[in-house]
Structure 1
Amino acid sequence: MQDILPVTAPIFLTIAIGYLTVRLGGLTKADVAGLGKFVINLSLPALLFRALSQNPLAEILNGAYLAAYALGSLTMLLLGTAFARFVRKQSLQASALTGMGMSSSNSGFIGYPIVLQVLGPTAGIGLALAMVVENLLVLPVFLVLAESRAAGGGSVRHALVGLRIRGLLADVTRIVGAKLLLHPLAVFAALSLLSPIDPKLRIAAVLFASSPMLTVYPIFGQKYGREDVCAAALMTATALSFASVSAVLWLMDRGGWLAVLR
């Protein structure tokens, strides 16, 4: 564990510093929005281009990785949606949001820095493949489910800072638990079922799946009137992922997965 904390601690410490900076007024919402646009529109595309341009096309187009990550993520999306719809008796929109929270990772902002620390340049390939699955498969399936019986959205009543989680605990616990525990397990199971892939990419796939849900999750929640649950789940998952991702890395080390890096 003493070898794992130097990997995860700096990343989550940076997140905590960012949270406190906004909380204490060091950055305004406009400042954060501007930084976010810069990262999404310039930094992240440049990162992906650099990672992809430095590797052979055959290495980038890894069908086994794509299939395993897609199978694990779609399984969580559909199971989460079905559970919320038929067991919890929620609306189709709320159910689809539950499934999305359980299956869509914050690959760019949390997953990638962790995988980069562990794997180095291979992280860029893993990120590109994960984003293909998330943006071209998981997100469209979610939108099809959510829009099949579109309901009116709600207005934003709470911000992440100071958000009250009281009354949302059951839904938040299910979403967060499934995202941080079951999603990486589903991807791991898919990797075990499909043809063997590069050991480093196998590590990358599970670590990306171990990341909390994507940062725009509350925005989708706002559209479908579930912004409170989505924002609370995002905040809770991000905070708890420090422990869960560290635990995943520890299990990988104990299982011999990280031996390939030595």
Structure 2
Amino acid sequence: MFEVAAIITPIFLLIGVGFFSMRIRILNREQMQGVSRFVLYIALPALLIRAITQNPLEEVFNINYLLAYGLGSLSVFGLALGYTVMLKKQPLTIGSISSLGMSVSNSAFSGYPVAVMIIGPPAANFLALNMIIENLLIVPLALILAEAGQQAGRGVMKSLQKTLKQLVKNPILIGLFIGVLIAVTDTHLPAPVTQAVDMLAKAAGPAALFAIGGALYGLQIRGVVGEVSQIVTGKLIIHPLGVFICMWLIAGNDALLIAGGLLFAGAPMASVYPLLGQRYGMGNVAAGALMAGTLMFFITISIIVGLITFFDMLP
């Protein structure tokens, strides 16, 4: 138990530093958004470039992990959508956004900083694969369905075109593309460039945790406890369980893949979730889910790390 606490505590200390930096007004909301943009547009692409270029492509693009994590996330999305739309009789738009919150992790800002402390360098490879699954599969699917529900079936192709345009501009996918291009062409970057990329990559984890803490300040749950509870339960319990089952079926006894999948799936919902929720009239629910999910994350990730340690899955 003390070993688990030793791993988890520094993570939440960094989140706390970000929170209290906002609380005592060292930084304001706009400045904290600048930190988030640094992580998203600079540090994380550098991290992905480093991960892809430092390891053989066959090690980075582990097909078993890609299939298992993708199938697990897609299954949870489908189950959540069916439950919300068919059983609870909610509109397709609400069902899509709720399902998005349950099946897409905050891989960059929460999953990676935790995973790299527990399983080390392979966490960067898993992050690259998660970015592919989340940005090319789950998020576009949820947005297209949400748009279709909002427009009662009209303008779906227009929504698809808009989503594809946004994907082309996504800094995470640009970083992935650059890394793959360098690896495939066997390009050797100059030593100063490699060192600069490495320095930026190392900043991704701490800066992401700091930004998460700042984002939590001021969030409130206003009359949406039921919806928030459903999304948080789906994200922190059902999503890791679904990914674990698929990992066990596809990856077999590969303890590292299972540990990586659990750590990333166990992260709270994506930090952009409130922005997407607000776009479809679920701003308060999404913001409340992000706050509650991040706070409950301390408990659930401690359990996950404890199980990983108990079953000797650590490298």
Q: Same fold (TM over 0.5)?
A: yes
Q: CA RMSD in A?
A: 1.7
TM-score for both structures, normalised by structure 2: 0.77
Q: 1:97 to 1:49 in 2, by over 3 A?
A: same
Higher Rg: 2
| Cα distance, 1:163 vs structure 2 | 4.0
Cα deviation, 1:192-215, whole Å, max 9, x if unaligned, reads 111437432321111000000000
Verify the 8 A CA contact 1:160 1:232 in the aligned structure 2.
Answer: no
State yes or no: 1:238 paired with 2:294: yes
Within 5 A, what are the aligned runs for 1:85-234? 85-150=85-150, 161-196=217-252, 198-234=254-290
Percentage of matched positions with identical amino acids: 42
Alignment partner, residue 154 of structure 1: none
Alignment partner, residue 171 of structure 2: none
Alignment partner, residue 21 of structure 2: 21
| Cα distance, 1:20 vs structure 2 | 1.9
Alignment partner, residue 303 of structure 2: 247
Alignment partner, residue 65 of structure 2: 65
Output the CA distance in 2 between the equivalents of 1:174 and 1:16. 26
What is the one-letter code of the residue matched to 1:196? G
Q: 1:135 to 1:92 in 2, by over 3 A?
A: same
Q: Which moved more, 1:67-76 or 1:33-42?
A: 33-42
Alignment partner, residue 177 of structure 2: none
Output the CA distance in 1 between the equivalents of 2:228 and 2:53. 40
| Cα distance, 1:104 vs structure 2 | 0.4
Verify the 8 A CA contact 1:122 1:201 in the aligned structure 2.
Answer: no
TM-score for both structures, normalised by structure 1: 0.92
Verify the 8 A CA contact 2:222 2:284 in the aligned structure 1.
Answer: no
Verify the 8 A CA contact 1:130 1:205 in the aligned structure 2.
Answer: no
Bigger proportion of residues as helix = 2
Output the CA distance in 1 between the equivalents of 2:292 and 2:32. 20
Q: Which moved more, 1:141-150 or 1:44-53?
A: 141-150
SS in 1 for 2:221: coil
Q: 1:125 to 1:82 in 2, by over 3 A?
A: same
Verify the 8 A CA contact 2:68 2:251 in the aligned structure 1.
Answer: no
Verify the 8 A CA contact 1:64 1:196 in the aligned structure 2.
Answer: no
Aligned residues: 253
State yes or no: 1:256 paired with 2:312: yes
Verify the 8 A CA contact 1:72 1:189 in the aligned structure 2.
Answer: yes
Q: 1:83 to 1:105 in 2, by over 3 A?
A: same
Output the CA distance in 1 between the equivalents of 2:222 and 2:277. 17
Verify the 8 A CA contact 1:171 1:229 in the aligned structure 2.
Answer: yes
Q: Choose between structure 1 and 2 for higher RCO, CA contacts under 8 A separated by at least 6 residues.
A: 2
